[in-house]
Amino acid sequence: MSNVLNWQLGREMDYPYDAAYPDQQFAFIFNINRCIGCQTCTMACKSTWTFSKGQEYMWWNNVETKPYGGYPHHWDVKTLDLLEQANPGGQNWGGKPEDVKAPYGKFNGKTIFEAAKTFIGPEGANRALGYLPTDEEWSAPNRYEDHPVGNEKGVKGQYFKGGELLPEHKTWFFYLARICNHCSYPACLAACPRNAIYKRPEDGIVLIDQERCRGYRKCMEACPYKKTFYRGTTRTTEKCIGCFPRVEGKDQAGHGLPMQTRCMASCIGHIRLQGLIELNKDGTWKENRRSPLYYLVHVAKVALPLYPQFGTEPNGYYIPPRWVPRDYLKQMFGPGVDQAIERYSYPDRELLAVLQLFRRSNRIIYRYEIKEGAKIYEATLRGRKITLYNDTVIAYGQNGKEIFRTQVEEPVHVRPNKHANSI
């Protein structure tokens, strides 16, 4: 085992290989508050990459209803349980949030790599703590869709009728859209006995070499997010490839410029923003104040990693849903939840402008600028004064050229009468 810096945990941790970081890292932010569970992203991915024989149960992109849903079933609860068994009562956070090396404080518990040392089997210790889901657990990708939690007086099916108020709804659910996190310390890669899994040095996308893979499924056991899938027709595992031809700028529609993945580009709810992050030598994010991802993760701190305590340093970040009980969210996104929801609920001028960049274009945004506009609205929101300005936010691509510009106040289009009843 090597010692590597996991900045999401605010400390060094064990990992089977020495640290090696790409020039830039594929990363994305999903705003859960906006997801409508339409599954357009799921179908965009399926119809592009996994429509062939043997791929029927492969959902590289899936959207599950929390708290009950999950694909495979209960994937997160099962891994959290294993970690708790390995380190009873010790899975917690401490310390104070610091700079880019410890933005959420310090994780005191054990990661899946550290906890694996306590499970010694006939072949020695595993490289990552995990489990292999059963066929039954892979059988229904959207079990419990739209199923809420929270019954009035404990009566099944009877939900609260008195209306709901922030900060926490009594009856709640939310949609969690998921793809492979193209982790900085991938557990799938760590566990593969064939060295068939690798992380591309140019963009950090994690791929499985289909020539080397023998289908031992060690990656499926180790990945805590359960994002590698077995294909019976080829006896290999496959996973999300980050739409790498698009990221490389090879999609015809991109005219040579990097494009966002199919799932990002098709998102109806405008919840998704994908980018490429420049890294420092120690794997932390290079300061880049005008990158929308850097701004949302490290400046506004509204976007948080999914289950950072697993220890893989996932590169998928989420703006947590405002209405969900905080303890549930803190288990899922770490101790930054309160601050993230506070900032998102009362956004300042810059945050409101940057939130308009999500899914406005197929191209990858490298930089943004804001041009100030007129005051358009003033009101009191949950006891606080808010003021809205119609600022313009401008997105720039890899070549420094403008991709698009948009405003905080969206234009209203009125359909002419002659089209009133037509599609």
> From the DSSP assignment, how many helices (H) and strands (E) are in the chain?
11, 21
- CA-to-CA distance for 38 and 94, rounded, in angstroms? 38
From candidates 70, 258, 269, 320, binder to ligand SF4 by CB under 6 A: 269
- Sole binder of ligand SF4 in the list 4, 27, 29, 35 (CB under 6 A): 35
Q: How far is the CB of 175 from ligand SF4 (least distance, A)?
A: 6
Q: Which residue of 112, 176, 223, 353 would you call a contact of ligand SF4, by CB under 6 A?
A: 223
Site string for ligand SF4, 160-179 (x = CB under 6 A): ---------------x-x--
197, burial (CB in 10 Å: exposed 0-12, middle 13-18, buried 19+): buried
Cβ–Cβ under 8 Å, residues 140 and 150? no
**Burial per residue of 280-316, b for 16 or more beta-carbon CB atoms within 10 angstroms, e otherwise:** eeebbbeebeebbbbbbbbebbbbbbbbbbbbbbbbb
234 contacts: CB under 8 Å, gap ≥ 6: 54, 210, 215
Distance of alpha carbon 269 from alpha carbon 258, whole angstroms: 22
- Cα separation of 411 and 419, whole Å? 19
355 forms part of the interface with ligand SF4 (CB under 6 A): no
By CB under 6 A, name the one of 11, 16, 17, 38 that touches ligand SF4: 38
What 3-state class would DSSP assign to 3?
Answer: strand
Print the binding letters for residues 51-70 with ligand SF4: x by CB under 6 A, - otherwise. ------------x-------
Question: Does 126 help bind ligand SF4 (rule: CB under 6 A)?
Answer: no
* Contact status: 207 vs ligand SF4 (CB under 6 A): no
CA 341 and chain centroid, separation: 16
| Structure-block tokens of residue 47 | 């119809």
- Cα separation, 297 vs 304, whole angstroms: 7
Whether the Cβ atoms of residue 325 and residue 168 lie closer than 8 Å to each other: yes
User: Looking at 27, 183, 300, 370, which residue binds ligand SF4 (CB under 6 A)?
Assistant: 183
Strands, sheet with 272-278, edge to edge from the N-terminal-most edge strand: 272-278, 24-31, 316-319, 304-305
Chosen residue from 66, 127, 182, 363 binding ligand SF4 by CB under 6 A: 182
Q: Does 362 bind ligand SF4 (CB under 6 A)?
A: no
* Interatomic CA distance for residues 112 and 20, integer angstroms: 19
Stretch that binds ligand SF4, among 38-46, 68-76, 111-119, 333-341 (CB under 6 A): 38-46
Q: Looking at 28, 225, 333, 358, which residue binds ligand SF4 (CB under 6 A)?
A: 225
Q: Does 279 engage in binding with ligand SF4 (CB under 6 A)?
A: no
The answer to whether 37 contacts ligand SF4 (rule: CB under 6 A) is: yes
- Give 175 or 317: the residue with its C-beta nearer to ligand SF4: 175
Residue 260 in contact with ligand SF4, rule: CB under 6 A: no
Stretch that binds ligand SF4, among 65-73, 76-84, 185-193, 282-290 (CB under 6 A): 185-193
Which residues would be at the binding site for ligand SF4 (CB under 6 A)? Answer: 35-41, 63, 175, 177, 180-183, 186-188, 206, 223, 225, 227-228, 239, 267-269, 271-272, 312
